[in-house]
Structure 1
């Protein structure tokens, strides 16, 4: 122990020497870094030159632009309409641009050469007229377009210069030096405290060594006594019997629960290739379920809608206002699968299917017909699928077990009034009551699904 103490003191002296050398080196580096830092700060403070005069109020124009223009236009990229950066310099005719924005279809109808050329270039997609804008409103929008279009290249250049300046900064800040000194002082104090603790432990071990050994012997005896108690308990046959019985009951309970829930996938929520939101479509936009899942009304399967159904809306709805003029990434996946070019609005020759992951999957031994429940019985989709209109991502709401189906059949009242299907069933029952002949054909024996399943 005394050898360890002397080694520890030598280590303390070495650390003190290293501390002094480190502080001196840090001061030299800090002194050398000061001129470079001041030069860099002076360079960063230089104002950017340039900037064209802007007519109108770009701040007011920004609100008008984002509320009315972003669904069809972006600054530096063609969407449904042309890119708007540089439009003031391209046409250099404020009166013409004001007239165009207020009523573009009228200019095309009048035969204006430039208007007709733009109309033909963009697949004869007419621009929405804005007669509610005043001349000052249009000037404000054009001012915002000019400022925003000029700002992006400068921002990129400024970002590059800032990155270069940051990479060139190799000096040591005062904060780093103060932090280093504080860490060294704290380490020095910790070393002193540890040295004092070691000295105290040496005295305790020398003065009370025998007492510690005696306590260790007592602990070993107590441990032996504990094991002896366990051995006595193991010899008690009644206790052993009840412990084993409880263990068997516990295992049987866990096994029963696991076997009962085998094949039950309540809450199953796989990741789909497209993040389709039922909350947005069925909830916020209140689109009827059967607009997409038309098979639920007329066939056994609800069917997965084709991408052509999606394109009924998303050929025009692109959510560009939420992505800074860019098309939504999820809508882009639809375009990619269809090999569709949103700029030319043309389809390619390499379409690919979307590989959706099935969620509600009954075993082959179970026959379920959507039309029998939706059309004949008039059951709502939420009865089985839960609050689908609130689900951001769909999950399996019901257990879909045989017990669950049987309980539903026991509790659900059949509404046969005015239902042609049940009229035939009730008529057959009336024939039976009267003693008349009832053939299999009367009970639906000629339906294809009775044999061709």
Structure 2
């Protein structure tokens, strides 16, 4: 009984603490659910005749690849363009900027010169109504205050202070009072039970101690008995020896095998996006796989063939993707001026597929000559958001592949030479090492 009372008393402090935390959580929840002042997020009325909702869809479909509202991308930031230029001029510029520049329009020529004589894409398919809708959208979104937009992105965290009703306050106070009254009553009950237990004398305590001693004795009696059994001890030692030897052999056998190895790379490059969704050929980036021993890691200039224009700003609220920004930082490239600096540094990629120095592997021999797909060794690379080592790349794995892979010699110049050599042997002609490719540099130098 005393043990029960002492354990129960220990629970009182956590119970009280949990009550306070629960009440605080309810208070915070009510505070967060308080309705915000609608006047703080009201959107200013557009001064341009047009449908801003319809203009949003047109803007995202035609303009976001080169423009953002509040930041320069390839083209200028468009917020405030309604006040800087007239509607009629903007319509001419959007429909055919080249013609407007050729006409000698001062504003058109100034924009053309400011942006390194980069010609804006013409949109003759857009009607005057479509352009009015886009300008209305630019007016509405451009006039929004930055702190309001930030609040919207954060999920409306900056709600206005509207206060809590009297009913909520009274309810919270009542919950706190009831919780502490319950704790006080329980404390009194435990104290009463302890006093009653003391009046009974020490007989109950002695009885509990005797039961604990008997329980302890019975607990280890079986173990001591088994420890004296030599046959049982020998069996246990033999079983442990076999088990540990098995696990040790498995660990030694798999030493150096790194199937599933997936290191963290400096840039989160997704093959699932590039090779899968966008269906970019593997050899566009890894050109060496077709013509040399190594597949090669593409230089950042290859990345810039696309990412000079593709910046994924639509997924980051008009900001450049942080992973694409890492490419710009490494190249010391300024996307606003589109110029390169002198402070460049390489991207330190972490190698995933490693072969020992004693093994020779030639990508071109497998990719070009044998026509093997990349997925044969690297797995479904087009489905990997992050690349990992798919195959064990052991000698056994390679040998099994060579045993199972059928050679297709049709239309293959390499095997044409081999077949011709066999025909020469059949006809009794002399076959030298040169006929079998013995003069190729790679046979000795690699």
Shift of the 312–416 alpha-carbon distance from structure 1 to 2, 3 Å rule, reads: same
Aligned-pair distance for 1:434? Answer: 4.7
CA drift at 1:215? 4.4
> In structure 2, what is the equivalent of residue 87 of structure 1?
81
Q: Secondary structure at the match of 2:213?
A: helix
Matches of 1:157 and 1:382 in 2, distance apart?
Answer: 44
Written as runs of structure 1 = structure 2, the 5 A alignment for 1:93-172 is 93-152=86-145, 155=148
> Which residue of 290, 296, 301 maps to 1:297?
290
C-alpha distance in 1 between matches for 2:131 and 2:379: 49
- For the pair shown, the structure with the greater C-alpha radius of gyration is 1
> Deviation at 1:100?
1.5
Q: Deviations over 1:391-419 (max 9, x none)?
A: 11111111111111111111111112222
1:401 aligns with 2:385: no
Query: What TM-score do the two structures reach when normalised by structure 2?
Result: 0.83
Query: Match of 1:10?
Result: none
* Residues 293 and 303 in structure 1, CA contact (< 8 A), matched pair in contact too: yes
SS at match of 1:286: coil
Q: Which residue of 2 aligns with 1:443?
A: 436
Equivalent residue number for residue 409 of structure 2: 416
- Contact 1:74 1:324 (C-alpha < 8 Å) held by counterparts: no
Q: 1:44 to 1:312 in 2, by over 3 A?
A: closer
SS at match of 1:330: helix
Structure 2 equivalent of residue 271 of structure 1: 264
Distance 1:50 1:317 in 2: 32
Aligned 8 A contact 1:71 1:325 in 2: no
**In structure 2, which of residues 349, 368, 373 is the aligned counterpart of residue 356 of structure 1?**
349
Taking the aligned partners of 1:243 and 1:156, their CA distance within structure 2 comes to 70
Pick the aligned partner of 1:63 from 24, 35, 57.
Answer: 57
CA–CA separation in structure 2 for the residues paired with 1:423 and 1:49:
74
Question: 1:195-274 counterparts in 2 under 5 A?
Answer: 195-207=188-200, 209-274=202-267
- Show CA shifts across 1:300-319 (max 9, x none): 00001111111111222222
Q: Is the 8 A contact 1:295 1:301 kept in 2?
A: yes
Go from structure 1 to structure 2 and tell me whether the alpha carbon gap of 1:49 and 1:248 turns closer, same or farther (over 3 Å shift): closer
- Ranges in structure 2 where 5+ consecutive residues have no aligned partner: 6-34
Deviation at 1:197, TM superposition (A): 2.8
**Aligned residue for 1:22?**
none
Shift of 1:258: 1.3
TM normalised by structure 1 equals: 0.82
C-alpha RMSD of the superposition:
3.3
> Is the contact made by 2:378 and 2:390 (CA closer than 8 Å) also made in structure 1?
yes
1:360 Cα offset (Å): 0.9
Equivalenced residue count is 412
| SS of alignment partner, residue 81 of structure 1 | coil
Take 1:46 and 1:365, find their aligned partners in 2: how far apart are those partners? 70
Change (3 A) 1:45 1:288: closer
Residues 271, 357 of structure 1: 8 Å contact kept = yes
Give the one of 371, 377, 388 matched to 1:378.
Answer: 371
* 8 Å Cα contact 2:47-2:139 kept in structure 1: no
In the TM superposition, what is the alpha-carbon distance from 1:374 to its structure 2 partner? 0.3
CA contact (8 A) 1:54 1:147 kept: no
204-213 vs 370-379, which moves further: 204-213
Provide Cα deviations, 1:137-195, integer angstroms capped at 9, x if missing partner. 21121122122222125737999xx97986xx999976456424422321222221231
Larger relative helix fraction: 1
- Which whole-Å deviations, capped at 9, do the CAs of 1:8-50 have from their partners, x for residues lacking one? xxxxxxxxxxxxxxxxxxxxxxxxxxxxxxxxx9x99799898
SS of residue in 2 equivalent to 1:151? coil
1:338·1:351 contact (CA, 8 Å) conserved in 2?
A: yes
Deviation at 1:266, TM superposition (A): 1.1
Q: Choose which of 45, 48, 68 in structure 2 pairs with 1:54.
A: 48
Distance in 2, matches of 1:47 and 1:280, equals: 37
What is the distance in 2 between the residues matched to 1:52 and 1:244? 86
Which residue is 2:31 aligned to?
none
Paired residues of 1:340 and 1:346 also in contact (CA < 8 A): yes
